[in-house]
Amino acid sequence: MPKIQWENLPREKWAHLRDRAKQRKVSMEDLFELANWKSQDPDVPDGDWYKDFGTFKLCGTGRFPSTFLMSGQPARGKRV
């Protein structure tokens, strides 16, 4: 299983993640929770996946994070 690649993401991907975090009102506390999870260097599946943090979801495909969803929005892929 791959690890999430946070480094060397294309500028457009970072801009999208930043915009979605603002748009979906991901709080600083939520981002600290994300950072804590990230520091554990979790494995993710090769295909679509999501991590449900309760107040928001991080979605990705393979090793790349792709977007943030609000807690009530449906996510596709495997829950990690």
Per-residue pLDDT in tens (0 to 9) along the chain, 80 residues: 889 998 888 899 999 999 999 999 999 999 999 999 999 999 999 999 999 999 999 999 999 999 999 999 999 999 99
Domains contained in the chain, number? 1
Residues 6 or more apart whose CB falls under 8 angstroms from that of 78 comprise: 45, 47, 48, 49, 50
Q: Would you say residue 1 lies in a domain?
A: no
Q: Would you say residue 20 lies in a domain?
A: yes
pLDDT of residue 7: 87
Domain that residue 46 falls in: 11-79
pTM above 0.85, yes or no: yes
